[in-house]
Structure 1
Amino acid sequence: MKLNTVLVLLSLWMYMAFNSSAFSSNEPIAARVNGKEITQMRLERYFAEYLEDQGRAVASIRNPSAYKKLRQAALDALIDKELLWQEAQKRGVQISDATVQSQVEQTRQAMGGAQVFARRLEDAGFDEATYADYTRRELAAQQVYAELNQAQIQKTGTPDEKEVRAFFDEHRAEMNQPEQVQVRHILIKVPQGAEASTVAAARLRLETIRKKIGQGTDFASVARESSEDVSASQGGELGYFPRGRMMPEFEAAAFALAPGAISEPVRTAVGWHLIYLENRMEASDVTDEQGLEMVRAYLARQKQVQARLQVLAQIRAGNRIERIDDE
């Protein structure tokens, strides 16, 4: 969770905990969890924070279907938070003052120190005691979730070796490493249907650039200055790629080069290219030992994910949830 959203979440909790209007019929409701209301305002503000954690903004979502799915996911997350907090209360979970203060101190330092932290709290209309209460609530919910998750993981156990071997045998070919090349390139664009003179002029320009590089100028520097591709700002860097990823003419020229070599001008549908081969990674087959270890780790992660989903599903199944926002 990003630090600049901490006070947003705090304000949501404070609003629900202390503002009586949050429970009045005048406040639109998004959901009820065992009678506890999650307001539309709380959902709207959490939705913005939920998207921010994914590097997105509400205004950037143009597809109505995608917007609805993301909003439903945000409401699911809010419902889960409320369920975990209620479960923590049922279990009588206690978070020590020392643990709370340690977490508050970490947040204080991460925000830039005591003065900045105090100012941010004051600007939001809160004090450190209120923030400590919010932190205690969050830590209690997290503790319950961790305990339930660990118990579920113990039930599912570690991946069985027969399962590991079967998965490895089925997917072994996908785990093998194909031959790949790492290249930079310089592009001089040529419009579709351009006259022969335009095509020739673009090639001549690229040949001049090639001579400049041959005289000792760094390829990446020239790419930044001269390339008309979006990769110019990265010095023409395209990274590693296997066969079948690029345009046929480009790919054939790239795979024919030796490391450190520069191609002759290569014509593709978008223009003329100079290709510089930085490195070649030969194809390699994964060994049984490597592959089985990779599969064990993968299946263990899958079991952990499944355990988390089962925990949340079990909590939801045992409680009364009314989703109004979906209606």
Structure 2
Amino acid sequence: MHAVRCLRTGRLLLPALWGLALLLLLGCRAQDTEANAKEDDRTYRVGTPVADSSVAAVVSSEYGSDTLTAEAFRQQLAFILQRYPQIQMNPALLPEVHKSIVEDFIVRHVVDGEIARQGIQADPATVEQELEQIRSRFPSPEVFQQALAQDGLTEDSLRGMLAQMIRQRTFREQIEAKATPPSDKEVEDFRQQQAEQVHVQHILFRLNAGASEEEATAVRNRAQAVLDSIRAGADFGEMARRHSEDGSAQEGGDLGFIRRGETVEAFEEAAFALAKPGDITAEPVRTQFGYHLIRLVERRKDDSLMDAAEAREQLTEQRKQETVQKTLEDLLRKATVRINPSIVQAKL
């Protein structure tokens, strides 16, 4: 199931204005640690910096041009920091947050532009139905109107938001319909793969996006020094608690059991290559998040295979997500973004 992350403003529950297109197009799934995310490559182009202090970013493409104002950028940043206070306790995460706000802005530009180009429309009856569902959450029409006013909305502006959500949902469904169904052999191979699991610990040495070669070398050297200490007898879990920059640090870096397809590719390959409990990666493993040390706690294989229908359903869903991702990448190649580096403190 694809979820839209929501925020509560006043007493009105509405999809977050930021992240709307990206979340609707790609879906979102909360993850406990950075190891459980998928790698992606930047496909848009970066142009010359913006000097206007009232502008955070400008994106242009065949669909036209859109501006992310400095005020809108700061509002989105404030919302994220309020929702995720742990980010404020780790300033190293801020460049990634800045980058995510700008990249969502780019995604919304190309997705909404393509929706307009294709002439995808929202059925007025469906808009009214969804509006009525929101109204029904309130004890009276007066309370509903008060909530709208608190959010700076009117019923007409809310209708517009809902209509765009429906257009985005329709666009996604059209893309998903193009996904190739898995074959019987692919389903059986998937069932066998999912039976294999590894229980691992890891220590993450974070490397910010856009880090220089010198910075990467320094982080890798830190990871190697800790690895040398572990090989000399230091406890892996204690080293994770001291040094890891991942949410699993307090649990000694314990990620529990993972299956294939649940982590970034480089992490998965290294974890499943470990043969015996206690084995540790021979060297730090580089992913988009930085360098990892990985230790195998246990391997297991389920005696019973996943139900074939469930395996087919999961594979089908993966195919849909891959098709959507490919479409998004193709759209992003059309975009050029220019940022104001005094506001957006991230390297794209």
TM-score, scaled to structure 1: 0.51
Give, as a single letter, the amino acid of the residue that structure 2 aligns with 1:43: F
CA distances 1:41-85 after superposition (whole Å, capped 9, x unpaired): 223323444567xxx435643223322223322332232223222
Quick one: distance in 1 between partners of 2:16 and 2:138? 15
The 1:293/1:3 distance shift into structure 2, 3 A limit, reads same
**1:145-184 to 2 correspondence within 5 Å?**
145-151=172-178, 153=179, 157-170=180-193, 172-174=195-197
Are the equivalent residues in 1 in contact too, given 2:190–2:311 (CA < 8 A)? yes
Instruction: Report the structure, 1 or 2, having the larger helix content.
Output: 1
Give, as a single letter, the amino acid of the residue that structure 2 aligns with 1:159: P
Alignment gaps of 5+ in structure 2? 21-50, 199-255, 258-299
Quick one: distance in 1 between partners of 2:165 and 2:56? 22
Are the equivalent residues in 2 in contact too, given 1:83–1:316 (CA < 8 A)? yes
**RMSD value, Cα:** 3.8
Quick one: distance in 1 between partners of 2:101 and 2:18? 17
2:66 maps to what in 1?
Answer: 36
- Pick from 145, 149, 156 the counterpart of residue 122 of structure 1: 149
Say if 2:2 is the partner of 1:2: no
Instruction: Report the structure, 1 or 2, having the larger strand content.
Output: 2
Quick one: distance in 1 between partners of 2:339 and 2:331? 16
Higher RCO, 1 vs 2 (CA within 8 Å, ≥6 residues apart): 2
1:261 maps to what in 2?
Answer: none
Say if 2:280 is the partner of 1:287: no
- Pick from 137, 141, 153 the counterpart of residue 164 of structure 2: 137
Quick one: distance in 1 between partners of 2:336 and 2:105? 14
Say if 2:323 is the partner of 1:311: no
Quick one: distance in 1 between partners of 2:81 and 2:318? 25
CA distances 1:275-297 after superposition (whole Å, capped 9, x unpaired): xxxxxxxx995335x45555434
Alignment gaps of 5+ in structure 1? 14-23, 176-240, 243-282
Match of 1:174, SS?
strand
Shift, 1:313, TM fit: 0.9
CA distances 1:127-167 after superposition (whole Å, capped 9, x unpaired): 2122222322332233223322333x2xxx12233333334
Give, as a single letter, the amino acid of the residue that structure 1 aligns with 2:113: Q
The 1:92/1:296 distance shift into structure 2, 3 A limit, reads closer
The 1:293/1:4 distance shift into structure 2, 3 A limit, reads same
The 1:147/1:286 distance shift into structure 2, 3 A limit, reads same
Are the equivalent residues in 1 in contact too, given 2:176–2:321 (CA < 8 A)? no
Match of 2:177, SS?
helix
**1:1-327 to 2 correspondence within 5 Å?**
1-5=5-9, 25=52, 27-34=54-61, 35-49=65-79, 56-58=83-85, 60-151=87-178, 153=179, 157-170=180-193, 172-174=195-197, 285-288=302-305, 290=306, 292-324=308-340, 325=344, 326-327=346-347
TM-score, scaled to structure 2: 0.48
The 1:321/1:142 distance shift into structure 2, 3 A limit, reads farther
